[in-house]
């Protein structure tokens, strides 16, 4: 357990060779246009100051409720979205501002698995072509070589060889997600960002896909950023977990620590809210009041203070920063 | 415990007997719900769990007589609610019961509210349909109902439109509409699936509270076993249109008998344990059009399948008192002579 710490404020510019990905104070705002001339009248602060790092071979889970900015964070890291501010350091290179050819080169090393296995596959393409496309884009391989490689990938994700000639609609949700995973593996990337890869699937199929992802991680030495809203799924998959609320990272810790001893009141509420699949366990529930506020107009101070059962006066005034309160346990809360 | 014992001796509020609901696909009938029987007792919360396509929603629509016309129909069976056979009733008779004595909440709180009418209008609509009530009274009642489901500024909200509310608030409004006439039975079809965990916790809490205050029975349809463990007294597990297991909640989670139930329970990642691999069920649920005609419908995915599982259709039988299972591993599930 190494204790890499990137303190917000006084950033250590140590490019730890162990870290595959480092995110520093990342901000992604979506402009809100309005009025006759469609001028920018405000910003949706989808990601507002997020910092974390992922070590090689590790899985970082990103959890939070809908609208907390976890998907936007994932897409910004892949540079599918332009960050408003902050730094993305991938494999020792600052990729915040790269564009054109060099961006294309980097994309080879980071791939994405999408949430909706129905919308993320082209219905007009054969599955073989869908999986071959990334390889075709980046290398000059003969048709036979390409086909061999695709067959190999199909086998790796547990699909029969005849899937090559089929179309996406002929598969079930779980199988389609396998196709999506095969496609993301095609270029042997270093980092895979999985954005809610199992939330559209049934429990029995979900467990198949989770097991597959774990196996592939071992086999290909992959690093995962695993985005999900289901805390038990995230716990199963991740080594470390980051909890987001309204565009902010509120807590980052090793999995064991986070579940055994959640420090942030939001994390505590989130964990207590999960219904346990055992009727004998009667949990003490923390029921939060109200809904997540709009990210266009986030509350002053700590974004969580209007719903926080432990809010103090200070919470509405100053925004807490993410700081290390225990070894490998960072939290952004005035209580600590 | 004592309340549970009381429940056992009471006459059921709802009794579904040998229900078969079929869908017409290109001229052929396919049974989405196949020979399903169960009872719901007064004040009981019954959970129906299963994966997508197992027929749990179709069954609830059959009870409510809300099946899409011309495509889906109840082929046989009886649905007896409070002593009346709903299957024999005309549309207008059903309309008097639906929304009053039996009501339903749906998964999508956005699509089940009408976007062009105010919240108040939609609430009052139910009241006007089932009660003799003046406009003034209806408005007052609507406000009171909104208050009872935990909405903080009901006086303002009655004049707002669904799009102005968040998902959790909309689901609260749906619940308010459903309980407006104090139904005896509430069918909740995946009421929290579209919601975030913290909001889900709020809504489940609310449902429990309302169930206790109004003394109603609830059928809770969900795919989330955690929600079932939290909420229900009794659980029915469905697979491919059939009930595979039925037991009280504690028995089902701690002493499951059907291999499908066991695997399903093993497939959920647990919060308090660390396991490397989850149990998974190979393959997928057979589609409606190529459902096996004879034998157990789970046989081709079942790790314990025996040759006879493919030729003999198991029946639901009591393995223990009040614990029914349909699996040939148990003597009680073997069909009796002469019964097909």
> Under an 8 A CB cutoff, do B250 and A174 touch?
no
pLDDT band at B71 (very low <50, low <70, confident <90, very high): confident
> What residues contact residue B196 under an 8 Å CB cut-off, 6+ apart?
A65, A66, A229, A292, B167, B168
Q: What is the pTM of this model?
A: 0.85
Q: Please give the residue of chain B at the shortest CA–CA distance from A285.
A: B201
- The helix/strand/coil state of B145 is helix
C-beta separation of B280 from B267 below 8 A: yes
Nearest CB among A175, A229, A276 relative to B226 is that of A276
Q: How far apart (Å, rounded) are the C-alpha atoms in residues B28 and B19?
A: 18
Highest mean pLDDT (candidates A109-113, A280-284, B22-26, B28-32): A109-113
pLDDT band at A194 (very low <50, low <70, confident <90, very high): very high
Mean of the per-residue pLDDT values of chain B: 88
> Under an 8 A CB cutoff, do B230 and A172 touch?
no
Strand order across the beta sheet in which B185-189 lies: B102-105, B185-189, B217-222, B45-49, B234-239, B242-248, B323-325, B317-320
C-beta separation of A200 from A115 below 8 A: yes
How much is the ipTM here? 0.80
What pLDDT shows up at residue A284?
79
Nearest CB among A172, A211, A281 relative to B278 is that of A211
> Under an 8 A CB cutoff, do A232 and B279 touch?
no
Residue with tokens 């009501």: B103
Pairing of strands A240-245, A93-94: unpaired
State the average pLDDT over residues A263-277. Answer: 90
Of the candidate ranges A1-5, A292-296, B163-167, B327-331, the one whose mean pLDDT is the lowest: A1-5
Domain ranges of chain B: 2-101+181-333, 109-180
Q: Does A285 contact B at CB distance below 8 Å?
A: yes
Query: Smallest Cα–Cα separation from B312: which of B279, B336, B291, B289?
Result: B336
Whether B270 shows a pLDDT value over 60: the answer reads: yes
pLDDT digits (tens, 9 = 90+) for A25-59: 999 999 888 878 888 888 888 998 899 999 999 99
Whether A63 shows a pLDDT value over 80: the answer reads: yes
Whether A1 shows a pLDDT value over 80: the answer reads: no
> Under an 8 A CB cutoff, do A236 and B269 touch?
yes
Work out the percent of chain A whose per-residue pLDDT is above 70: 95
Nearest CB among A207, A275, A285 relative to B267 is that of A207
Per the document, the length of chain A is 336
Whether B273 shows a pLDDT value over 50: the answer reads: yes
DSSP state letter for A224: E
What pLDDT shows up at residue A7?
45
What pLDDT shows up at residue A302?
92
Whether A237 shows a pLDDT value over 50: the answer reads: yes
Whether B1 shows a pLDDT value over 80: the answer reads: no
Query: Smallest Cα–Cα separation from B259: which of B227, B291, B221, B299?
Result: B299
Q: Does A243 contact B at CB distance below 8 Å?
A: no
Chosen for mutation from B201, B204, B249 (greatest number of chain A CBs closer than 10 Å) is B201
Q: How far apart (Å, rounded) are the C-alpha atoms in residues B329 and B323?
A: 15
Pairing of strands B234-239, B242-248: antiparallel
Residues of A in contact with B200 (CB under 8 A): 273, 275
Whether A11 shows a pLDDT value over 60: the answer reads: no
Per the document, the length of chain B is 340
State the average pLDDT over residues A224-243. Answer: 92
Q: How far apart (Å, rounded) are the C-alpha atoms in residues B227 and B230?
A: 5
Chosen for mutation from A268, A275, A281, A309 (greatest number of chain B CBs closer than 10 Å) is A275
How many contacts does A have with B, using Cβ atoms within 8 A?
Answer: 121
Q: Where are the beta strands (DSSP E) in A56-147?
A: 59-63, 85-90, 93-94, 110-113
Q: Does A277 contact B at CB distance below 8 Å?
A: yes
Residues of A in contact with B224 (CB under 8 A): 275
pLDDT digits (tens, 9 = 90+) for A158-184: 999 999 999 999 888 889 999 999 999
Q: State the burial class of residue A170 (Cβ atoms within 10 Å of its Cβ: 0-12, 13-18, 19+).
A: exposed
Chosen for mutation from B196, B240, B244 (greatest number of chain A CBs closer than 10 Å) is B196
> What residues contact residue A16 under an 8 Å CB cut-off, 6+ apart?
A4, A22, A53
What pLDDT shows up at residue A275?
86
- The helix/strand/coil state of A158 is coil
Classify domain B2-101+181-333 at the CATH topology level.
Rossmann fold (3.40.50)
Of the candidate ranges A31-35, A222-226, A304-308, B113-117, the one whose mean pLDDT is the lowest: A31-35
């Amino acid at each position: 357990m190494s204790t890499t710490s990137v303190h917000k404020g006084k950033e250590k510019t140590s490019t730890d060779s162990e870290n595959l990905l480092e995110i520093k104070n990342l901000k992604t705002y979506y402009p809100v246009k309005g009025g006759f001339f469609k001028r920018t009248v405000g910003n949706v602060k989808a990601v507002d100051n997020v910092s974390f790092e992922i070590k090689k071979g590790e899985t970082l889970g990103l959890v939070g409720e809908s609208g907390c900015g976890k998907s936007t964070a994932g897409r910004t890291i892949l540079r599918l979205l332009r960050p408003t501010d902050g730094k993305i350091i991938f494999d020792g290179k600052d990729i915040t501002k790269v564009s054109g050819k060099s961006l294309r080169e980097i994309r080879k090393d980071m791939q994405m698995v999408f949430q909706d296995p129905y919308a993320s596959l082209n219905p007009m393409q054969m599955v073989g072509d869908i999986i071959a496309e990334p390889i075709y884009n980046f290398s000059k391989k003969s048709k036979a070589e390409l086909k061999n490689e695709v067959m190999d990938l199909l086998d790796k994700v547990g699909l029969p060889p005849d899937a090559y000639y089929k179309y996406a609609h002929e598969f079930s949700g779980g199988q389609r997600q396998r196709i999506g995973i095969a496609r993301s593996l095609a270029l042997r990337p270093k980092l895979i960002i999985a954005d809610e890869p199992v939330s559209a699937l049934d429990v029995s199929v979900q467990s198949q896909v989770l097991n597959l992802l774990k196996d592939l991680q071992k086999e290909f030495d992959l690093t995962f950023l695993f985005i999900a809203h289901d805390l038990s799924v995230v716990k199963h998959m991740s080594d470390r977990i980051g909890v987001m609320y309204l565009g902010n990272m509120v807590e980052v810790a090793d999995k064991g620590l986070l579940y055994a001893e959640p420090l942030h009141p939001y994390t505590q509420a989130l964990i207590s809210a999960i219904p346990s699949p055992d009727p004998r366990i009667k949990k003490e529930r923390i029921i939060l009041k109200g809904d997540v506020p709009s990210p266009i107009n986030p509350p002053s101070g700590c974004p969580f203070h209007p719903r926080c059962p432990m809010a103090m006066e200070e919470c509405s005034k100053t925004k807490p920063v993410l700081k290390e309160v225990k070894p490998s346990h960072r939290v952004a809360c005035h209580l600590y | 415990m004592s309340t549970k014992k009381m429940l056992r001796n009471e006459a059921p509020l709802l009794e579904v007997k040998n229900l078969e609901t079929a869908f017409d696909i290109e001229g052929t009938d396919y049974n989405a719900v196949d020979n399903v029987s169960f009872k719901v007792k007064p004040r009981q919360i019954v959970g129906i769990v299963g994966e997508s396509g197992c027929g749990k929603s179709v069954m609830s629509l059959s009870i409510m007589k809300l099946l899409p016309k011309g495509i889906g129909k109840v082929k046989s069976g009886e649905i007896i609610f409070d002593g009346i056979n709903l299957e024999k009733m005309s549309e207008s008779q059903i309309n008097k019961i639906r929304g009053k004595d039996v009501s339903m909440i749906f998964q999508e709180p956005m699509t089940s509210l009408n976007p062009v009418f105010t919240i108040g209008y939609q609430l009052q609509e139910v009241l006007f349909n089932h009660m003799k009530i003046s406009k003034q009274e209806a408005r007052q009642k609507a406000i009171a109902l909104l208050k009872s489901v935990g909405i903080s500024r009901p006086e303002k909200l009655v004049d707002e439109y669904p799009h102005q509310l968040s998902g959790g608030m909309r689901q609260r409004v749906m619940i308010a509409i459903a309980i407006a006439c104090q139904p005896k039975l509430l069918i909740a079809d995946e009421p929290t699936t579209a919601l975030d965990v913290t909001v889900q916790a709020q809504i489940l809490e609310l449902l429990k509270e309302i169930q206790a205050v109004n003394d109603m029975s609830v059928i809770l349809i969900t795919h989330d076993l955690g929600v079932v463990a939290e909420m229900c007294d009794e659980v029915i597990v469905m697979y491919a249109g059939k009930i595979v297991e039925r037991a009280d909640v504690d028995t089902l989670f701690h002493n499951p008998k059907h291999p499908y139930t066991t695997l399903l329970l093993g497939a959920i990642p647990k919060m308090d344990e660390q396991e490397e691999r989850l149990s998974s069920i190979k393959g997928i649920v057979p589609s409606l059009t190529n459902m096996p005609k004879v034998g157990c419908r789970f046989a081709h995915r079942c790790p314990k399948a025996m040759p006879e599982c493919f030729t003999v259709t198991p029946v639901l039988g009591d393995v223990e008192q009040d614990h029914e299972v349909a699996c040939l591993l148990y003597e009680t599930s073997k069909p009796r002579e002469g019964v097909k």
